[in-house]
Amino acid sequence: MLTLPNERGRFGMFGGKFVPETLMRPLADIERQLHEALADPSFHAEYMHHLYEYSGRPTALTFAKNLTERLGGAKMYFKREDLNHTGAHKINNAIGQALLAKRMGKRKIIAETGAGQHGVAAATVAARFGMECKVFMGEEDVKRQALNVFRMKLLGAQVIPVTSGNRTLKDATNEAIRYWVEHCDDHFYMIGSVVGPHPYPMMVREFQRIIGEEAREQMLKVEGKLPNTIIACVGGGSNAIGMFHPFLEDDVECIGVEAAGKGVHTTEHAATITKGTKGVIHGSLTYVLQDEHGQITEPYSISAGLDYPGVGPEHAYLAHIGRVRYESVTDEEAIAAVQMTAETEGIIPAIESAHALAKAFQIAPLRPKNETILVCLSGRGDKDVQTVMNYLEGDEPR
Amino acid sequence: MKHFIPFIVAGDPSEDVTMDLAIALEKAGATILELGVPYSDPLADGPIIQRAASRALNNGMTLTKALELIGRMRKKGVKIPIIVFTYYNPVLQLGEERFFALAQQNGASGVLIPDLPFEESEYMRTLGDAYKIPYISLVAPTSHERIAMIASQAQSFLYCVSSLGVTGIRDSLPAELHEFLKQVKLYSRVPVVVGFGISTAEQVDRLQHVCDGIVIGSAIVQKIEQLQDELNDVRTRPNALIAFSQYVVSLIEPLKRVGKNESQTTTEPTKTVSTGQTD
């Protein structure tokens, strides 16, 4: 399980490289350089240096004492990725890929973004490492996330509004890939999640596994044992893979939480593993939300970061073999979890992370007090305050 | 004469018009037709073909209907080979075997899947052999050492992507293109055709000496877009089809000039691509 993907970029049947011929060689170049980099202690040292000295790692492990007492069951711990520079786990991956781009002699970065979190992380590292950065963002998201658009511009990035399709993350990713096809000779495509063609799902996992590695050490130090259950939200699934991967060979229950939007019985959700079927999206064979003719359908979630019709192929595999259980949480449950976490622990989580929290709050009372639940609190909620306000005041988010 | 391979999208602007366009293209001198199946997320296509795909999807076009449309074209007398151009996901949902069975039944002559590179296409190539539907391979300017591998398995013709990037109309083609085509020809046992970005008679004229055929997509699809209202109205359709044919003829005029004056240097299409007719 830990040795995957294989040399063809497959996790079981999932993954692969379903891309135009033009990209096959650029992908092979990245793969070769990535393997060299990962085997090079100086690369790892530089990566860790930036994580500690620039992003503020290690991130805290917080015992959610008040929530634990209130729910009266298992002890809950939060891995605080919200305390990272730029406010989410996205920076871990952005730093890793920027260092790889630098190593490959590429100084021009392309990124896609939905809500803008990965776009901001990419723009941030580009500024830090003296690189040019173009961020593709659906026109609809540009309108919804004006503040993040301005943050990216302030960081010196160029934000390119995408007008194809439904003008959201899926279309931004399509356009970023198209741009990359045209400029693959001197641009590096920095994908924000564990999606895309091989070696991206593996690469992004390797740059996110620091979450789980740190949390594992911290749990052992604080509790003297591994957690019984780990919970993380899954859109593309990078924080979840980063959290789960170092625990996959242990006797630890892993739960990935997808966005049920207005309910998985409606058409307005983003629960790709729960409701999707096998298909190809953005270069990878995985579970996909699609119609019976193989056309990708538009997902929905109040959380822009989970609003994606595909999912990382490694998650598809972990679901298929039953190692990780995937469940879903609605907009309503997620917003309630934002409020409860804010009121009880003084932490405003991102709505994405609140999906994982909501699931933890459902499970904790059912588990004995000597058990522990570790939740990946992947990002902070400042960006979502307006959305939460609109929701609570009864305005539809879309 | 060299191959002229026009590309149109099934169902753009309607099924009936696609049929008429296919007939018009054959008359105008097409030697092979590339019929595009519309897809929601066409990664290899630029804005012109993306818009055509949207129009066709809005008209309810599907992979199955596109294959059946080939059958209808055959019944209407279209004789030239018809290559199905589709992204992989619709094929996966239909089922690969079912796809080839329907392609064969309806008289398709080949399949080209732009997001299924050599390494991922073994199963499709095997099925293609079983159903006698050639699987068309692509090489790109970035292929380099991959060219020999891809060319060794090429069937019918080898499709060279002219430049980095997606389909579209380009004012200029890269200076290295001639060298690239020469290199591909060294390895290829089948005719070498070039596509992506070719949109003027002048480009056709310059390229025809270094390849065995030319694919024109976006320029033709853009013409259809411009004429869509007239094409959709049965009263104005005949004139619109004439205007369309005149445009196509003007694009490939340089090919015909050579066809008349030079001896044939390329393989006959009928020898390499079957017309796949069922009747």
- Equal fold, A16-51+90-204 vs A56-87+209-392: yes
Closest-CA distance of chain A to residue B46, Å:
8
Other beta carbons less than 10 A from residue A7's beta carbon: 7
Query: Mean pLDDT throughout A88-117?
Result: 96
Distance, in Å, from the CA atom of A65 to the CA atom of A82, rounded to the nearest integer, reads 18
Query: Mean pLDDT throughout A236-263?
Result: 98
- CB atoms A292 and B43 under 8 Å: no
Of B41, B57, B143, the CB nearest to A25: B143
Closest-CA distance of chain A to residue B212, Å:
21
Bridge partners for A63 per DSSP: A77
For the stretch A201-232, pLDDT in tens is 999 999 999 999 999 999 999 999 999 999 99
Of the residues B37, B39, B43, the best mutation for testing chain A's interface (the one with the most A CB atoms within 10 Å of its CB) is B43
> Domain locations in chain B?
3-135+198-261
Q: Are B3 and B29 in contact (CB under 8 A)?
A: no
> Domain locations in chain A?
16-51+90-204, 56-87+209-392
Burial class (CB in 10 A: 0-12, 13-18, 19+), A394: exposed
- Using the 8-state DSSP alphabet, how is residue B29 labeled? T
Residue A143 pLDDT class (50, 70, 90 cuts): confident
Contacts of A328 (CB under 8 A, 6+ apart): A257, A258, A259, A260, A264, A269, A271, A274
Match 């190539």 to its residue by tokens. B125
Distance, in Å, from the CA atom of A23 to the CA atom of A177, rounded to the nearest integer, reads 9
Strand ordering across the sheet containing A14-15: A10-11, A14-15, A284-288, A277-281
For the stretch A278-294, pLDDT in tens is 999 999 999 999 999 99
pLDDT for B182 equals 94
Match 């776009």 to its residue by tokens. A119
Distance, in Å, from the CA atom of A11 to the CA atom of A319, rounded to the nearest integer, reads 11
Looking at beta carbons, which residues of chain A come within 8 Å of B150?
21
Distance, in Å, from the CA atom of A181 to the CA atom of A201, rounded to the nearest integer, reads 19
Other beta carbons less than 10 A from residue A339's beta carbon: 13
Looking at beta carbons, which residues of chain A come within 8 Å of B144?
25
Of A20, A164, A280, the CB nearest to B44: A20
pLDDT at A1 over 90: no
- CB atoms B120 and A22 under 8 Å: no
Of A8, A22, A170, the CB nearest to B41: A170
SS3 label, residue A111: strand
Strand B110-112 with B137-139, pairing: unpaired
Query: Mean pLDDT throughout A367-392?
Result: 95
How is residue B10 written in tokens? 């099934």
More confident residue, A394 or A79: A79
Query: Mean pLDDT throughout A377-396?
Result: 90
The H or E element that residue A328 is part of is strand A324-330
Distance, in Å, from the CA atom of A298 to the CA atom of B38, rounded to the nearest integer, reads 17
How is residue B150 written in tokens? 């891809």
Of A26, A185, A290, the CB nearest to B93: A290
Other beta carbons less than 10 A from residue B137's beta carbon: 26
Q: Are B178 and B143 in contact (CB under 8 A)?
A: no
pLDDT for B107 equals 98
Q: Low-confidence residues of chain B, pLDDT below 70?
A: 258-279
pLDDT for B269 equals 44
pLDDT at A363 over 80: yes
Of A21, A181, A293, the CB nearest to B117: A21
- CB atoms A277 and B142 under 8 Å: no
Looking at beta carbons, which residues of chain B come within 8 Å of A195?
none
Closest-CA distance of chain A to residue B242, Å:
32
Q: Are A97 and A395 in contact (CB under 8 A)?
A: no
pLDDT for B63 equals 98
Other beta carbons less than 10 A from residue A273's beta carbon: 22
CATH architecture of B3-135+198-261: Alpha-Beta Barrel (3.20)
How is residue B37 written in tokens? 């199946």
Match 């006797």 to its residue by tokens. A251
Of the residues A22, A186, A291, the best mutation for testing chain B's interface (the one with the most B CB atoms within 10 Å of its CB) is A22
- CB atoms A20 and B146 under 8 Å: no
Distance, in Å, from the CA atom of B101 to the CA atom of B91, rounded to the nearest integer, reads 12
- CB atoms B139 and A19 under 8 Å: no
Residue A168 pLDDT class (50, 70, 90 cuts): confident
Burial class (CB in 10 A: 0-12, 13-18, 19+), B3: buried
Work out the percent of chain A whose per-residue pLDDT is above 90. Answer: 93
- CB atoms A20 and B47 under 8 Å: no
Match 């409860």 to its residue by tokens. A340
Of the residues B142, B161, B173, the best mutation for testing chain A's interface (the one with the most A CB atoms within 10 Å of its CB) is B142
What topology does CATH give the domain A16-51+90-204? Rossmann fold (3.40.50)
- CB atoms B144 and A25 under 8 Å: yes
Burial class (CB in 10 A: 0-12, 13-18, 19+), A368: exposed
- CB atoms A174 and B63 under 8 Å: no
- CB atoms A8 and B43 under 8 Å: no
The phi and psi torsions of B76 (rounded to 5 degrees) equal -80, 0
- Return the residue of A nearest to B50 by Cα: A164
- CB atoms A22 and B40 under 8 Å: no
Active centre residues of B (catalytic):
34, 45
What topology does CATH give the domain A56-87+209-392? Rossmann fold (3.40.50)
Looking at beta carbons, which residues of chain A come within 8 Å of B90?
293-295
Residue type, B267: T
More confident residue, A7 or B263: A7
Of the residues B92, B112, B176, the best mutation for testing chain A's interface (the one with the most A CB atoms within 10 Å of its CB) is B92
Bridge partners for A286 per DSSP: A279
- Using the 8-state DSSP alphabet, how is residue A380 labeled? B
Other beta carbons less than 10 A from residue A348's beta carbon: 18
Closest-CA distance of chain B to residue A80, Å:
36
- B204 alpha-carbon distance from chain centroid: 16
Q: Are B273 and B157 in contact (CB under 8 A)?
A: yes
Query: Mean pLDDT throughout A83-111?
Result: 98
pLDDT for A325 equals 98
ipTM: 0.94
Q: Are A260 and A327 in contact (CB under 8 A)?
A: no
Active centre residues of A (catalytic):
90, 112, 378
Among the residue ranges A135-149, A310-324, A383-397, B219-233, the one predicted with the least confidence is A383-397
Question: How many contacts (CB atoms, under 8 Å) link A and B?
Answer: 118
A71, A90, A375, A397, B40 from A167: Cα distances, Å: 41, 22, 32, 16, 12
The rounded mean pLDDT for chain A is 96
Distance, in Å, from the CA atom of A383 to the CA atom of B82, rounded to the nearest integer, reads 52
pLDDT for A154 equals 98
- CB atoms A293 and B64 under 8 Å: yes
Query: Mean pLDDT throughout A148-166?
Result: 95
Of A21, A174, A290, the CB nearest to B140: A21
